[in-house]
Structure 1
């Protein structure tokens, strides 16, 4: 019955149907599940108890004649002084000139609006006299489109409840309702639309937050179960003793975090299910050696491994590392990129097909036609978000159900990892190798630039190198920020004795590789660049990172850029050139100075920017929750995920009568496959 068209609601005509369809609302159920995004609290309060910039409702006596001024085209400002709780407030109403006729000197009126404690002003609100029926409850505010008015929407939602409330079914099982003392679904949705008190609204929100998270996590777990059943993995057989011997022969001791993550990966490899794991590790935390252990185990099981990275220079650096670690054990590592010569490429492809190459490293060249394996057992993708979904899928299909390991140096907050990557296992290297010096980070204003250039000269004079990062390539009229081309010219004139390189996104791939290679080989002392160096290259000799207009970058990006230095044994420095105007900009700069921990930074970044901006909403795979907030309500998210895992694994969920409505509700939600990340 709830799936009936909205035209069945009394008072909803063809025009209203069209307006609702423009908002994606076609059924009664969709209408009642279109929840308010905030509430106006019209309960009259004492102004002395109100916070600065809080929206409040107060009652007082008109103390002066209202003053109306017109400006611009059809714009007006009405001001009136009102005595409220012994204080003289100035109330300001914009573009409501008709209110002047409703205000009389000495009359008691009720005002709602944003309170400016410093100026004792109430603005941007509404006025109610004793004549126009003061509503002193919580008033819901909805997102609307087109010409539809909120008052009209409230009216039809009220009518929908009158007609259909008795048909609303509970979808959560009684066991969960009892365990968490949750409000029933019908009452929850009614309270969210028409709250009878703040306490009841809190209870309704609590229930809806849990429901939204549980439904999302169930979708993720069901997808995961379905994928596991459809695609069985290859159980790999290798000797644990041989792996332990490999670890003891490494040129450095592994951290506890690395050991823990390696164990998690090895268990996956030995499982009959295909591994689908995300490995997170801060810059310099030692992801490459973890990848080497995984590849070593796969080779011991008689299979091949592939590692795909975004750039050729990164592929070359990974090859050097893996050759050092694996070739002493007789493992053959080979490199395949777009620059590989035709004759050499032909030989590599033949050896790969015959199984003579154990591990192949490369860029997107690995997914081209003609790249075939004898028995691919493990696919590793480094900086996986740099590759498209289709590119990663093609590489996976080159083997028979290979295990998949995604690696990223972008610290993803645990909050987002659990939510967005609910269908993947997540491993975290949250410990840095011993002896690594933290990068000394300083925040300075732009007028300190001459001193920074002096400091750079000192570093270069002893043979060190520096990065200089700018937000834009060329001068822009829209943004008054330093650009890479101007900065390159400025530094070339200030430091003529050193070679200054320039790199940005408009260079061809070959040009970028050439500049980066020169910098890696210390033929270029300073690399002026846009953020294209964010992912990348290991240049231990670079000890200085200068970031112009640092307030224009997010925390995660600033941390990634800082991670380009501090890779050698010498002390490294990161200088943030910034004159932030906003409090948020100042806070970001201070956070960067205070901590080098990428995961702590990413959590703060998530709090400041919100989940949609963290990856870019298009690729984040995050659903839009109506009431829940993955940052504020993270503890509930964790509980919901644990419950979803238990439910999907239980027989009662699949067969029990108590879970029938929940199963039916999930079946109707056909969009869940679109919400997951590849």
Structure 2
């Protein structure tokens, strides 16, 4: 892949080559990321103005735009400073005024000579019973009427760039477009009725009606698909590169996992069995596994993870399960050890706490293979830790774990299979955008034995009642979380909010009943406070969102969320998932500060209606947009310029299967369609992908 194909050079030239863009405009545009003709083409119109010719302004209802031919009448210059300059004109049916502020008389005499015909276009308004157009958008001699498009696109603007300049620049950029070879699968293109790339570009910049501006107009759909396809091709190339790294095939009869299942009081759900079958099939191939196990709160991911680990152990290898914090690592350990014992498998934990001789003994047992499964925090990355035959790494909660750390794990074994578990249900379109290089298994059923959580909305004015009820519940031996929001992202203020609430609850519930955890505490203190709550010594835990992920206290059956209106839907759903883990009936109180905004109320009501994390995430996407749902800054979700992940979600899945199929048939992109796809990657500036092909 030597470099950008010559056919694309004009689109990557200087902005100043475009009509209407001088050095000053170019500088303004570069400030907002428009640096070449291609970027001008990728800036699509937001809306449009109907400028079809009318016989008279009477054909439109004011205030709206009219384009009419007029005969120019008398000029009325202002008598005093600051008054407007008025020009009387007449169309086929009525007379009206053109109004100009701060205008020069000599200029207006030239623009609108009395007695002559002109085409004017602008917004008709009624002022004191008189129809007028203030500062018409267009005034042209009849011979030049063609210059006004019947339907004029309106571009998103930046200070100092006019619609006229954008119109000229886009026309001039359209003139630079090459005819590119087709990269879309011909059957798909025919089925959808999509135009060629260059035609699609011409269409979106010359809409004929409002319907052409919809994300579902064929030309817009096609350009959105190109963007998604380029993104999915990049991910598919990354996936192919990972899989090329040879893995180890781990064949198992399932004897160990059968022992564990026999010791359980219930059967795994259909979703668990399906996910486990997908993982087992991956483990049995010599290709590296790179799979995401996506499951809602309490859908039983841990059991699926254990079955995968047991298969690897049965095949003679070792497995590691990584958690983001020591508390979570211990929790996995407590949950898994009795199950591992029932299969006769050695399970150990390694965290930063292990020191001296105890640590040395564990390291030796890992190196000689005595330990089959290791549970730990990122402490298992330290240089002195060696496994005998590490084959599977399971990572809990992806977003604390970068790709580079996944790579590092790979270096611990020869070619470790990787399974990432996340408890954050993500809408399918976003999962594909973010984890498109991975294969995805979804757990969408709840195992038996979990009680539904009753969710209620309470106004903060009733806080005293809430505290009284809490006192009653604590007296009955129940445990509760009380979550305070982050305020203004400032950790100091956040700490104060939690500390204030802690002091007040301690005053009304008594010493030793209430515990506190927040982000500013030293690790050891936080761990100790959590441990006291887990052990049931403290009954109420006041916390900031540090408890969002994974903590399992089956006795805790009440979740209070203060200022619930400040949290995102996904976050509220995660927090609520901390209760309802035991046999006791659980409740979640969403305490809000009235008055609630329309969207704030909608968010809280969705939570009251459903506990289905996937439905909640789809609602979240519809309400907040893709960037917000995952917090784009750290999410690795690309910002698309044309594609709209909320409205064109279905296209992402098509693009993914198309990209994978293309690479499957043509791994080096050497066929005619493969070469066209390379052009697409250059066009969309997917340099990473281009490097991956050139390496391959």
- TM-score, length-scaled by structure 1: 0.83
Given the alignment, which residue of 153, 168, 174 partners 1:155? 168
Corresponding residue number in structure 2 for 1:220: 235
- Residues 1:319 and 2:325 aligned together: no
Describe the SS at the equivalent of 1:397: helix
Q: How does 1:20-169 map to 2 (within 5 A)?
A: 20-28=29-37, 30-36=38-44, 38-42=46-50, 57=65, 110-111=122-123, 128=136, 137-143=150-156, 147-162=160-175, 164-165=176-177
Describe the SS at the equivalent of 1:466: strand
Change (3 A) 1:175 1:16: same
Given the alignment, which residue of 528, 536, 547 partners 1:533? 547
Describe the SS at the equivalent of 1:211: helix
Change (3 A) 1:387 1:650: closer
Contact (CA 8 Å) 1:170, 1:186: kept in 2 or not? no
- Residues 1:639 and 2:654 aligned together: yes
Contact (CA 8 Å) 1:221, 1:648: kept in 2 or not? yes
Q: Residues of 2 paired with 1:10 and 1:525: CA distance?
A: 71
- Residues 1:488 and 2:499 aligned together: no
CA deviations 1:357-410 (Å, max 9, x no partner) are 111111121112211111101001111212344333322321110100001111
- Residues 1:367 and 2:381 aligned together: yes
Change (3 A) 1:184 1:355: same
Describe the SS at the equivalent of 1:513: helix
Contact (CA 8 Å) 1:32, 1:189: kept in 2 or not? no
Q: How does 1:396-415 map to 2 (within 5 A)?
A: 396-415=410-429
Describe the SS at the equivalent of 2:9: coil
Corresponding residue number in structure 2 for 1:183: 195
660-669 vs 463-472, greater mean Cα deviation: 660-669
- Residues 1:671 and 2:681 aligned together: no
Corresponding residue number in structure 1 for 2:93: none
Instruction: State the superposition RMSD in angstroms.
Output: 3.9
Describe the SS at the equivalent of 1:483: helix
Q: Residues of 2 paired with 1:12 and 1:207: CA distance?
A: 28
Contact (CA 8 Å) 2:8, 2:178: kept in 1 or not? no
Corresponding residue number in structure 2 for 1:434: 448
Q: Residues of 1 paired with 2:121 and 2:681: CA distance?
A: 50
Unpaired stretches in structure 2, ≥5 consecutive residues:
1-6, 69-82, 84-98, 109-119, 126-132
Q: Residues of 1 paired with 2:447 and 2:661: CA distance?
A: 36
Q: Residues of 2 paired with 1:557 and 1:596: CA distance?
A: 13
Change (3 A) 1:37 1:160: closer
- Residues 1:601 and 2:616 aligned together: yes
Quote the offset at 1:13 in angstroms. 4.9
Quote the offset at 1:135 in angstroms. 5.4
Contact (CA 8 Å) 1:2, 1:167: kept in 2 or not? no
Contact (CA 8 Å) 1:35, 1:192: kept in 2 or not? no
Unpaired stretches in structure 1, ≥5 consecutive residues:
61-75, 77-92, 103-107, 114-124
Quote the offset at 1:143 in angstroms. 4.5
Q: How does 1:226-237 map to 2 (within 5 A)?
A: 226-229=241-244, 231-237=245-251
Q: Residues of 1 paired with 2:639 and 2:576: CA distance?
A: 32
Q: Residues of 1 paired with 2:281 and 2:669: CA distance?
A: 28
476-485 vs 131-140, greater mean Cα deviation: 476-485
Contact (CA 8 Å) 1:172, 1:659: kept in 2 or not? no
- Residues 1:3 and 2:9 aligned together: yes
Q: Residues of 2 paired with 1:236 and 1:339: CA distance?
A: 32
Change (3 A) 1:241 1:304: closer
CA deviations 1:192-224 (Å, max 9, x no partner) are 122233455522112212222222222222221
CA deviations 1:294-316 (Å, max 9, x no partner) are 11111001111111101112111
Contact (CA 8 Å) 2:350, 2:377: kept in 1 or not? yes
Q: Residues of 1 paired with 2:492 and 2:152: CA distance?
A: 40
Quote the offset at 1:179 in angstroms. 3.5
Q: Residues of 1 paired with 2:191 and 2:488: CA distance?
A: 60
Describe the SS at the equivalent of 2:442: strand
Quote the offset at 1:36 in angstroms. 1.8
- TM-score, length-scaled by structure 2: 0.81
Corresponding residue number in structure 2 for 1:262: 276
Change (3 A) 1:625 1:137: farther
Contact (CA 8 Å) 1:42, 1:56: kept in 2 or not? no
Q: Residues of 1 paired with 2:371 and 2:492: CA distance?
A: 52
Q: Residues of 1 paired with 2:682 and 2:197: CA distance?
A: 19
